Amino acid sequence: MRQLIAGNWKMNGSLTMARGLLDALRAADAALGCDLLVCPPATLVSVAAHALLGSRVAVGGQDCHAKPAGAHTGDISAPMLRDAGASHVILGHSERRADHGESDALVRAKVAAAVAAGLLPIVCVGETEAQRVGGQAEAVVAGQLAGSLAEDFAGVVAYEPVWAIGTGRTPTEADVAAMHAHIRAELERRLGAGGAGLRILYGGSVKPSNAAALMALPEVGGALVGGASLVAEDFLGIARAVRG
Ligand code: PEP
């Protein structure tokens, strides 16, 4: 399976910025040996979907509500994202877990809502620095997987150590490989054969200079990229570094 390089724009992006960036991705995509996904803020999902129409670059949301519709002021539902042209949605990002108190149970409900709407969920898991230092990283991630994924989960998992997000720090290659092997084993144990083929992305301070080494590690099926996804040259630099 081709690796997936997914960009999480977080709460960044204007109409002008989006048009320039999306045009650059569209122009470069055909020559890449990986799949591209952009996850702009909800205000730009429809803009991105239109700008990328006819290309292979996919568009995703950064979150969705667990309910398809209703009295939830300020929220966005999975059917709304689908209607706007999204095919994917990031769920359980550590910033959502921290800023909005999202639990594994809520993430699991959101995964069900996403799948019901025809979206492919990208579920984020990862330990804090204190948990890693305390030797709990694998147990924490196993717990998040158990709580967030139903037995029939068929989406993408993103391993994002919280302490590596936006900090410029990354785990060692050995630590990334070990955690991805652990996640694969957990997926196979919990989901059976279905867990063997799921993509496991690495996320946390991925940039052009470290992408080739990270993307070459076993069980790394691509990257979830934050800051570097906002600059076409950086995002495409990461995409060009994948093993193809
Ligand atoms: C992210 O927020 O998913 C992320 C990986 O951010 P960054 O690449 O900026 O560390």
Residue 97 forms part of a structural domain: yes
Residue 88: active-site member: no
Residue 3 forms part of a structural domain: no
Residue 1 forms part of a structural domain: no
- Evaluated on CA atoms 228, 231, 236, 241, the torsion sign reads negative
138 alpha carbon to ligand 1 midpoint, in Å? 20
Residue 230 forms part of a structural domain: yes
Token pair of 50, please? 């239109």
User: For residue 142, what pLDDT is reported?
Assistant: 98
Residue 181 forms part of a structural domain: yes
Q: What does the alpha-carbon distance between residue 120 and residue 130 come to, in Å, rounded to a whole number? A: 31
Residue 39 near residue 61, CB atoms below 8 Å: yes
Asked if residue 161 has its Cβ within 6 Å of ligand 1, the reply is no
Q: What does the alpha-carbon distance between residue 239 and residue 196 come to, in Å, rounded to a whole number? A: 24
Nearest CA to ligand 1 atom 2: 226
Domain that holds residue 128: 8-241
User: For residue 75, what pLDDT is reported?
Assistant: 98
Residue 2 forms part of a structural domain: no
Can you give the CATH number for the domain in which 157 is found? 3.20.20.70
How many domains is the chain built from?
1
225 alpha carbon to ligand 1 midpoint, in Å? 5
pLDDT of the chain along its 244 residues, tens only? 999 999 999 999 999 999 999 999 999 998 999 999 999 999 999 999 999 999 999 999 999 999 999 999 999 999 999 999 999 999 999 999 999 999 999 999 999 999 999 999 999 999 999 999 999 999 999 999 999 999 999 999 999 999 999 999 999 999 999 999 999 999 999 999 999 999 999 999 999 999 999 999 999 999 999 999 999 999 999 999 986 6
Nearest CA to ligand 1 atom 1: 226
Q: What does the alpha-carbon distance between residue 130 and residue 48 come to, in Å, rounded to a whole number? A: 38
Token pair 């955690």 is at which residue? 179
